[in-house]
Amino acid sequence: MQTTYIMIKPDGVQRGLVGEVITRFENKGLRLVGLKQIIPSNEIAEAHYAVHKERPFYSGLIDFITSGPVVAMAWTGVEAIKVARNLIGPTNGREAAPGTIRGDFAMDIGHNIIHGSDGEETAKYELELWFPDGIAEWQRDAESQIYE
Ligand code: IDP
Ligand code: MG
């Protein structure tokens, strides 16, 4: 089991795609273990995107992610990090395949609706950053229907 950090970015919230995105994750079989809506501070946005600090798009990215509410989530499942990245699709919405979240809803590389952790270490870092008080530990009755 893995837990991954997923965040609906300000464009996804402003466009009313919160329910749509959550439904896709639920339908897939991932288990929701953390959820909150917040307007990110500069501090948390800079910590989240620290790896991109030297990139030319960095300051625009910080401005964007702090421009309004985001929906911060934690989702658990077998290989949840990869499963979520596959649901999300590649960074550039114009190149993302239909059927993926970015492929279905995004036309831009920066405004691309959603973030998903890209590896185990990143997931741990991001979950601790956005959910410093921890996440819900619960077992789902339907788990035995989802996994063999
Ligand atoms: P990812 O979200 O698909 O993992 P990353 O390369 O980690 O993509 O970039 C993080 C975020 O930075 C992207 O989701 C996107 O919002 C933004 N971004 C990445 N590359 C560009 C760019 O070339 N121009 C503008 N924004 C970018
Ligand atoms: Mg990334």
User: CB within 5 A of ion ligand 2: which residues?
Assistant: 118
CA–CA separation, 106 and 110 (whole Å) = 9
pLDDT at 143: 92
pLDDT (tens digit, 0 to 9) for every residue of the chain, 148 residues total? 999 999 999 999 999 999 999 999 999 999 999 999 999 999 999 999 999 999 999 999 999 999 999 999 999 999 999 999 999 999 999 999 999 999 999 999 999 999 999 999 999 999 999 999 999 989 999 999 999 9
Verify whether ligand 1 is closer than 6 Å to residue 24 (CB atom).
no
pLDDT at 45: 98
> What residue ranges define each of the domains in the chain, with the CATH number in brackets?
2-133 (3.30.70.141)
pLDDT at 126: 98
Active site residue 115: yes
Verify whether ligand 1 is closer than 6 Å to residue 64 (CB atom).
no
Tokens 């600090």, located at residue = 53
**Residues with Cβ within 8 Å of residue 111, at least 6 apart in sequence:** 9, 11, 64, 93
b vs e for 117-138, b when ≥16 Cβ sit within 10 Å of the residue's Cβ?
beeeebbebbbeebbeeebeee
Residue nearest to atom 15 of ligand 1 (CA): 110
